Structure 1
Amino acid sequence: MTKREREVLHLLAMGKTNKQIALELNISDFTVRDHVSSLLRKQGVTSRMQLIAMQAQQLGVV
């Protein structure tokens, strides 16, 4: 996972929308969607919620 993907994932976990993430990271909405798609593919999940739940589990939060 790249540094930027980690940043996007952190903001997703905070409940931010793609538009909010794009504004905060000063990137385009398209780039955020690209990062989210990459994260989903890398983690083998199909939804943002699954992605967040998987990361929380890996961190021992759940």
Structure 2
Amino acid sequence: MTVVFASRAAIGKPRELMRLRIVVTVLLIAFTAVLFFLTLPVWMKVEQVVCSALLLVIAILIFKR
């Protein structure tokens, strides 16, 4: 579903951009919460950090517009 929001936002639909911003923000909060509040193996924590970093970059890009 995120890909649909992103593709529609790329062609200039403002409602889809707003939805994409909401989804990315919620995902970033969820990944960060999982990282800090759950006891996970090291490889899974590394995976969460990488995903969170990528989402942060995406959030910066879509909130910059």
Return the index of the structure with the highest Cα Rg: 2
Do both share a fold (TM > 0.5)?
no
TM range (shorter): 0.3 to 0.5
Q: What TM-score do you get using the length of structure 1 for normalisation?
A: 0.37
